[in-house]
Amino acid sequence: MKLLFVIHGTDNKIIETAYKKKQKICRQMDCIAESCVYGEKEELENLSLELLGGRIYTLPVKTCVVEAISKSLHKLIREIQYTAVVVADGDRAGELAALLARLMNVKCITAVTELTKENGGVRCKKMIYNNLLCAGFRLPPEFVISERLAVLSLRNERPEPLDHIVLEPCRNPHYILEDTLFEERRPQVISPVLIAAGMGIKRREDIMKIREYAKHHGFSFGVSRPVAMRGWADISEIIGVSGGIYAPKVTIAIGISGAAAFMAGIEQSDYILAVNTDPSAMIAKQSDAIIADEYQNVLQPLFENLEKFTYPRHHDLSCR
Amino acid sequence: MRLLVSFKICPDLELLREEDIILTEEMGIDTHFLPNIINCYDESALELALRLRDKTKEFPIEISAFTAGNEQAELTLKSLRALGFAHTVRAEDEKGYTVFSSETVAETLAAYIKEYPQDCILLGKEAPNGNNGIMAGLVSEKIKHPLIGPILDIIFIDRESVTVLVSDEGRIRKQIVSLPCVLCVGNAVISKLRVATLRERMKVSKTESEYISLAYPDHEYIAAPKEVNPMIAKRAGYQSQKDGSEAVRDILRNGLQKVLEQI
C-alpha cells in the first residue's frame, strides 16, 4: 500500500497533530505514509515541517477551493502511484476526500475514527446518528478517507528525516473573481483546563459568567454549536467539527449533550468531567466522570477547587 | 434569477435516550417516535436564501426548496411555500433509502437542476445521521458548478456573481464568485428559519409540492456500512451519587484530583 496523508497546513499545531495521526495510521496500517501539505505560500514557509518528517510535498494554493486542490493532488497521486489517501480533518476534508475518490475511482468514507488493516483490505469505523452508533466498514486496499482520529497518546519516536519537495502552485480557478481576508484567526487561549458550555445552560448571563470565570483564570473557553447559533457566544468559540479542537488535561463540559460534532473537539482531553442533569445523556459514556445535578449547584464548588490546583494563568497563545 | 436550497428532515436525536435505541434492519435507529427537525445547517441555508431574496431589490429572485424523503416532509414544505419558496420539490422516498445514501440524493438533485437550471444552489454542510459532509461536493461535481464553502454569510448577489464570507480553518475570507455556483453552508451567522404567519399559511393552503422520483447513480463511491453497533463507552463514566459540593468532593476523590495535581 502506498499511502498519502493530505493536510491543510495552517500552523505548527496542525503539523504536530498531523504527526501523531500519521504515526497512528502507519502503525495500524503497517505501512509508510508520505504527506502532502497544502496551504498559502506564506503559511507553508513558516511551518516546521521537520515536526512531521518523512517525504513531504507542499502544495501552495492561493485560495482553498476543493475542486482545484483535488486536481493538483490527483496529479501527484497518479505520478507517484499512491493507492490510498487519508485526508486530515478540517473544514473541507470530507468534500476533498469525496472528490479525490471520484477522480481515483475508489471507495470513500468520511470522518473515520478508527482504521486497521484486515485481510488484505481495511476496516474502518465512524460515529453516526450523533455519536449514538458506531458504523463499521470494509474497504479494499485502494481507498480515500477523511479522518477524525483521536490521538490521546504519542509514542516517543522521532520523526523521520525530512525530504521536502515543493509542487507547482495550485492556480486560483477563474470563477473566484475576488478573494480577500475578512477576519484573521483569533488566537485561542490554550490552557490545561477547558471549560465548555452547552445548551443545558439556560441563561445567556450564565454563559457570560462562565466565560468571564474562564478568562480570569486563564482557562480555555468554548461552546457547543447551538449556543453560538443562538447568539450567546461568538462563532469562533465553537468547539468541535468546524470549530476548535482541543487537547487539554481537563475538560469541564457543562450542559453538553455529547453530540458527535462537539465531542470531536474535546475527545483528546486527558480527563472529561460532565455536568448534566441527565445521567444517561450521550456525554456520560464519553466522560471520565459525570455529576448529574443542576449546574447552578455545582459550578461554584467546582471552580473553587479548580483554583486550588491550577496556577492563576496559563497562556499559550496559539491558533487551531 | 433562481436559487435552490436542498435540505434534509432529520429526527431530533437530542431527545433520544440510550434505553430507547432500537436498531433497524437498514442499519439505522428506529426514530419514528421522535419529532422531526430541519437539519441545522440546512435551516441556516433556507433562512439565508430568504434574506437574500428580501434584500435584493434590483431584480427578482425565485427561490425553491428540495428535499428527499417521505410524507413527513410535507408540513415543512408547506411552511416553506408559506414563507415564499416558489417551488417545493420532494423526491419521493417512502422507504427511507436516502437516509444514508448521499449519492442518490445528489444524483436526484443534479437531475432536477439539469432540467431546471439554477444560478445558485445552497446546501448545509452535513447532517447528523451519516455525518458525511459530502453532499455539496457531490452535487457540485455532478452539475459541474464550482463549490464554495463553508459559507458563514451571503452578503450580496447580482446577475453575474455572489459575494460570500467563507470559513477557512479559523479565518474568514470574503470571496466574490461567478455564477452559477454551489454554496455549502457551515456555521452561518443566521441559524434559525423564520416562522410563517397564519395569513401566509392560509394563502398556500391549497398548493402542493412537486414530486419527482429518485435517480440512482451508475456507481457509488461512498462505502455503505457493513455493521452498526451502539456506541461503546470510551471512558470510565464514573457517576457521582451525590449532589452539589458533595458531588464535587466525590469526583475529586475518584480521579479528578490526581489529574489536577499534574497541571
Task: Give how far B128 is from chain A: nearest CA, Å.
Answer: 5
Which tens digit of pLDDT belongs to each residue from B166-184? 998 888 999 999 999 999 9
Q: Could A182 and B173 be called an inter-chain contact, meaning their C-beta atoms sit closer than 8 Å?
A: yes
Q: Does residue A91 form part of some domain?
A: yes
Mean pLDDT, rounded, for A51-66 = 92
Residues in chain A within 8 Å Cβ distance of B244: 293, 297-298, 301
Q: Are B204 and B78 in contact (CB under 8 A)?
A: yes
The pLDDT of residue A305: 87
Q: CA dihedral defined by A196, A200, A205, A207, rounded to 10 degrees?
A: 10
Helices (H), chain A: 12-29, 41-45, 66-80, 93-104, 204-216, 225-229, 260-263, 295-309
Question: Interior CA angle at A209 toward A205 and A214, to 5°?
Answer: 150
Q: Give the Cβ contact number of residue A202 at 10 Å.
A: 12
Average pLDDT over residues A45-54: 91
Q: Point out the residue among A137, A302, A311 whose CB comes nearest to the CB of B223.
A: A137
State chain B's mean pLDDT as an integer. 90
ipTM: 0.86
Same domain, B26 and B100: yes
Give the range of the structural domain holding residue B257, as residue numbers without chain letter: 230-261
Which CATH number does the domain housing residue A83 bear? 3.40.50.620
Are A210 and A298 part of one and the same domain?
A: yes
Q: What is the CATH number of the domain that holds A300?
A: 3.40.50.1220
B260 to chain A: nearest residue by CA? A309
pLDDT tens digits, one per residue of A247-290: 899 999 999 988 877 888 898 899 999 999 988 888 888 899 99
Residue of B126, B146, B262 lying closest to A173 (CB–CB): B146
Q: Which residue has the higher pLDDT, A69 or B223?
A: A69
In this complex, is the C-beta atom of B256 within 8 Å of any C-beta atom belonging to chain A?
A: yes
| Strands B147-157 and A54-60, bridge-based pairing | unpaired
Supply the pLDDT for residue A154: 57
3-state helix, strand, coil in chain B (%, to 5): 30, 30, 40
List the CATH number of the domain containing B207. 3.40.50.620
At A26, list the grid cell.
502507519
A298 contact B CB<8A? yes
Band of the pLDDT at B209, cuts 50, 70, 90? very high
With an 8 Å Cβ cutoff, are B187 and A242 in contact? yes
Using an 8 Å Cβ cutoff, are A115 and A150 in contact?
Answer: no
Q: How many domains does chain A have?
A: 2
Across the range B59-76, mean pLDDT stands at: 94
Q: Does residue A98 lie within any of the structural domains?
A: yes
* Residue B222, in any domain of the structure: no
Q: Is the pTM of this model over 0.80?
A: yes
Residue A270: which residues within 8 A CB-CB, separation 6 or more?
A152, A248, A249, A250, B259
Distance from the B259 Cα atom to the nearest Cα atom in chain A, whole angstroms: 7
Chain A nearest-CA distance from B101, in A, is 12
Q: How confident is the model at residue A311 (pLDDT cuts 50, 70, 90)?
A: low
- Whether B173 is in a domain gets the answer yes
Residues A55 and A154 in one domain: yes
Using one digit for the tens of pLDDT, what is the confidence trace for A120-172? 899 999 888 877 788 899 999 999 999 988 776 556 677 888 899 999 999 88
Q: Do A66 and B147 touch (CB under 8 A)?
A: yes
Q: Give pLDDT, residue A317.
A: 38
What was the pLDDT predicted at B211? 96
Residue A76: helix, strand or coil by DSSP? helix
One domain for residues B161 and B257: no
Do A121 and A47 belong to one domain?
yes
Domain region containing A109: 3-166
C-beta of residue B65 within 8 angstroms of C-beta of residue B80: yes
